[in-house]
Amino acid sequence: MATSNLSEYDTERLPDVSNMHFAIVVSEWNKNITYQLRDGAYNTLIKHGAKPENITTGYVPGSFELVYGAKRMVDALKPDAVIGLGCVIRGETPHFKYVCTGVTQGFAQLNAEGNIPYIFGLLTNDTLQQSIDRSGGKLGNKGVEAAITAIKMAGFAGIFK
């Protein structure tokens, strides 16, 4: 929400991640934003006990490719959760709608069919300033939120193994 900081969360409700493996797939498009998201996610995983050697980061050209990148990382690495991070800023063509819809549906399908959580960390903003505000600016960092979601969902998935 535009009225709350995305990076606020309750640390008391997080599971132990010391033996969990995480994959982060990052879009290179809008890298001034997506690399901030990546850093937020990585640093949050480390802060809560993930080992650096248990975090793998991969890069894809754009946000549309996040779905394929996430699936390939899961197939190859077998992580406990994968985080997809991207940024699409509305332009003057319908391209924004197609990319956002494709990535959203792709992550929903991966979650429905997969055995691990696929975390949707795609910024879909109207302006560059909105993206800056959500990648370490006044509204926090969506990468932090995605990492916390990955931790919680990996813990949740672990209950049912």
Residues involved in catalysis: 95
For residue 89, give the H/E element and its range.
Answer: strand 81-89
Handedness of CA 10, 4, 94, 91 (dihedral sign): negative
| Phi, psi at 136, each rounded to 5° | 120, 0
Place of tokens 């995605």: 146
**Number of Cα atoms under 13 Å in the Cβ half of residue 60:** 22
Q: What is the CA radius of gyration of the chain?
A: 15
For residue 26, give the H/E element and its range.
Answer: strand 22-27
Handedness of CA 104, 105, 108, 109 (dihedral sign): negative
